[in-house]
Amino acid sequence: AEVFKNSAVMKGFLNSIIYTVCGVCINLVVTLPTAYALSRDRFGGKKIVTLFYMVTMFFGGGLIPTYLVIRNLHMLNTMWALVLPGCLSVYNMIVARTFFKSNISEELYEAAEIDGAGGFAQFRKINIHMMTPDIFYNFVMAIIGSMQTFTQSYIMTDGGPSNASLFYSLLVYRTAFKQSQMGYSAAMSWILFLIIAALTAFVFKTSD
């Protein structure tokens, strides 16, 4: 009962939802088309993969996000400084590109081109269709992981300024190990578990 009366809990939960929705959606929108283009050896192929990897590591290293946080400490920039490194993950792009290269025959693309299908139609009808199980799995795992995000907020902002980047998991950690309220923290953890379970069940229910 006390958890639902705590404004900080509601703030942390809202921030976690924003991070999850933005991070997961942007990641899918960015990585899948990029992986498709690179799997067809367009735009430089391996050279672009290397460049994409370097840019992502630059973001992941915290240089640009930290600059944004220091430059303008308000909610929009702070949240985006945390969202960008996660949603531009090079790992998902490399996995998708590898799948496209190894599991989709060039004959399918050639047949589609003969039928008049352009690049976007090929991506939608061939790549997305054949990768649906992998997309579904990654989507579910991304939701679960994003809802439990802790490290970015803990290291970069410690939840500030004014709880603008306070995530639910960070609040669970604070409650348990800084305030020594283990029972309260355990209750918060169970609530998070039930929320994640409900979201996962909803995704499975609507997966068709």
What mean pLDDT do residues 144-165 have? 83
Backbone angles phi, psi at 181, to 5 degrees: -105, 75
Say what the pLDDT of residue 67 is: 52
Express each pLDDT in 100-152 by its tens digit.
888 888 888 889 989 888 888 888 888 888 888 888 888 898 899 889 988 87
Say what the pLDDT of residue 119 is: 81
Query: Angle between the 132-147 and 182-205 helix axes, to the nearest 10 degrees?
Result: 160
Average pLDDT, the chain: 81
Using an 8 Å Cβ cutoff, are 4 and 69 in contact? no
Of residues 69 and 206, which shows the higher confidence score?
206
Using alpha carbons, select from 5, 19, 21, 69 the residue that is nearest to residue 170.
19
Of residues 45 and 106, which shows the higher confidence score?
106
CA distances from 18 to 15, 178, 199 (A): 5, 25, 14
Percent of the chain at pLDDT exceeding 70: 79
CA distances from 108 to 33, 112, 117, 132 (A): 18, 6, 11, 17
Express each pLDDT in 54-104 by its tens digit.
766 665 554 555 555 545 544 456 677 777 766 666 677 777 888 888 888
CB atoms under 10 Å from CB of 129, counted, come to: 10
pTM (predicted TM-score): 0.74
Say what the pLDDT of residue 186 is: 94
Q: Binning pLDDT at 50, 70 and 90, where does residue 175 land?
A: very high
What one-character-per-residue DSSP string does 38-67 give? HHTT-TTTHHHHHHHHHHHHHHHTTHHHHH
Joined together, the tokens standing for residue 104 give 């989709």
CA distances from 141 to 3, 36, 38, 91 (A): 26, 21, 24, 14
- pLDDT beyond 90 at 192: yes
**Alpha carbon 200 to chain centroid, angstroms:** 15
Q: Would you give the end-to-end CA distance of the chain in angstroms?
A: 36
Q: Binning pLDDT at 50, 70 and 90, where does residue 29 land?
A: confident
Of residues 102 and 186, which shows the higher confidence score?
186
Of residues 85 and 163, which shows the higher confidence score?
163
